Amino acid sequence: MSKYLVILAWPVGITIVLGIAFLLVRSQPRPTLTTPGPVPSGGSPGPGSVASAARMLGLIALGTLAVYGVMALLGLLVVHHGLAVDRPVNDWMTGHRVHAWAAAMNRLTKIGNTWTCWGAAVSAAVCLAVSWRAQRWLPPAVLGALIVVDHYTTLALRHTFHRLGPPDSPLGTYPSGGCDRVIVFYGLIAYLLWREFSGQRRAAIWAAAAVAALGFNEAYSRVYLTLHWFTDALSGLLYGGLLLAVFIAAVRVVAGPAPAAARAGRDTARAVRAPATQEAAP
């Protein structure tokens, strides 16, 4: 019976994530229609684009160093004390595994594989470079930087700690690369799509929920298949979230807020100023 409770944890977790998103969307006011303003064409990269790209890469480099510092401090706790939690969880999963469910998880966990995520990033970079209305160099630049930064920062963390993984996967180590990649790659792709084609808060909630559900699926499947220690999977989710925040912040500094969000902000500001203007009029 216990093995089926472990299986039930997967749909329950996904349902909780999507249910929270549904409640957040219901609490949002209805979006108002706004007339989109003129958007400059993409054009070819010029001197301003080169300067913007350099500033973006500099911000990413500084943010990545900060993320490495945070994960290095967390790694000291995980490596020296994590096995107290990891071994019981690993033994439980090994003793309560269902063959058919393990086969399904073995397929689902592949969404976090290196080449799967890199392929998604390259495909998104090509598509967004064509559809992006302004600064068309930005999606390929930021997604290309993500491939390099995520790969080498993860290698640096693994060379720092040299942690062995579970007996079934001794090369799986701190932090979980699959969990990290699902959050940061699909999260950044979702953000770029959202800011270009929507910019609405409701769409942002559903996009975040979809990425969170993918992250939960990846962490669950990696732990269920004993490919990673439990604390490594949780650390991977945190690591991916921190890197995602760095890349989103870098994009916002260079490109500004999403056009629809910026228009909504201007409309709100005008609505607030209107009553004051009417009161001041004779």
Measured CA distances, 51 to 8, 47, 55, 138 (Å) = 51, 6, 6, 12
Tell me which of 22 and 33 has the higher pLDDT. Answer: 22
pTM for this structure?
Answer: 0.86
237 has pLDDT over 50: yes
- pLDDT at position 167: 86
Residue type, 265: G
- pLDDT at position 31: 59
Domain segments of the chain as ranges: 49-259
Residue 32 confidence class, pLDDT cut points 50, 70, 90:
low
- pLDDT at position 48: 62
| Segment 127-185, tens digit of pLDDT | 999 988 778 889 999 999 999 999 999 999 999 998 888 988 887 789 999 999 999 99
| Segment 46-97, tens digit of pLDDT | 546 788 888 999 999 999 999 999 999 999 999 989 999 999 999 888 888 8
Highest mean pLDDT pick, 79-93, 202-216, 266-280: 202-216
Average pLDDT, the chain: 85
- pLDDT at position 1: 63
What kind of architecture, by CATH, is found in domain 49-259? Up-down Bundle (1.20)
CA-closest candidate to residue 44, choices 154, 135, 106: 135
Measured CA distances, 54 to 57, 60, 67, 124 (Å) = 5, 10, 20, 21
- As given in the structure block, the two tokens for residue 12 are 């329950």
- pLDDT at position 21: 92
Query: Is the CB of residue 246 less than 8 Å from the CB of residue 69?
Result: no
Residue 6 confidence class, pLDDT cut points 50, 70, 90:
confident
- pLDDT at position 4: 79
- pLDDT at position 276: 47
Residue type, 200: Q
- pLDDT at position 36: 47
- As given in the structure block, the two tokens for residue 129 are 């470079």
Residue 261 confidence class, pLDDT cut points 50, 70, 90:
low
38 has pLDDT over 70: no
- pLDDT at position 44: 47
